[in-house]
Structure 1
Amino acid sequence: MATIEERISTYRTAPFDARFPNTNQTRNCYQNYLDFHRCQKALTAQGKEVSVCDWYSKVYKTLCPISWVKRWDSQIESGTFAGKI
């Protein structure tokens, strides 16, 4: 059985997610972006290793346009991001 680190290292593209069955993957992109930041926040607060959150990062980087990610990152830094993290 492959470990999480091995699965992440061999990761190629976003797998099928039953929560988002349609071809429009905008919500999938946004949800994985939120999940990545929530995962990091929760594990950091517990003092645990955050490398398991890399899965969400790779998925949203595959699905999301770079311009969206840059805008969301700058909004998080300035405190104006609309999502709940």
Structure 2
Amino acid sequence: MAEDIKTKMKNYKTASFDSRFPSQNQTRNCWQNYLDFPYYEKAMTDKGDDISLCKWYGRVYKSLCPITWVLAWDDQ
């Protein structure tokens, strides 16, 4: 169990710096990546390309956005 947690901590990746959003307030970064994830995923699927590159957007918004915001946006 302890080794499993250590492995997860070692492999954990959070959002890297994005020069489009230089301030400490990352609300717009959260929102933009939330919108970009399904857009690029659909675009890559329609082209028949690999969608693994799109997962970066999902990882970033899941790292930055509070879950309550995501649930509210999903409901809308």
TM over 0.5: yes
Give the counterpart letter for 1:30 in structure 2: W
In structure 2, stretches of 5+ residues that fail to align are 1-10
Distance apart, 1:49 and its partner CA: 2.8
TM-score normalised by structure 1 residue count: 0.69
Q: TM-score when scaled to structure 2?
A: 0.76
* Dislocated runs of 4+, deviation >6 Å: none
Percent identity between the aligned chains? 61
Q: What secondary structure sits across from 1:48 in the alignment?
A: coil
RMSD between superposed Cα atoms in Å: 1.4
SS of equivalent to 1:27: helix
CA apart distance, 1:11: 5.3
Q: Which runs of 5+ in 1 are unaligned?
A: 1-9, 76-85
More helix by share: 2
**Are positions 1:25 and 2:29 aligned together?**
no
Question: For the pair shown, which has the larger CA radius of gyration, 1 or 2?
Answer: 2
Structure 2 residue identity aligned to 1:63: L
When the two structures are aligned, how many residues end up with a matched partner?
Answer: 66
Deviation for aligned residue 1:31 = 0.6
SS in 2 for 1:17: coil
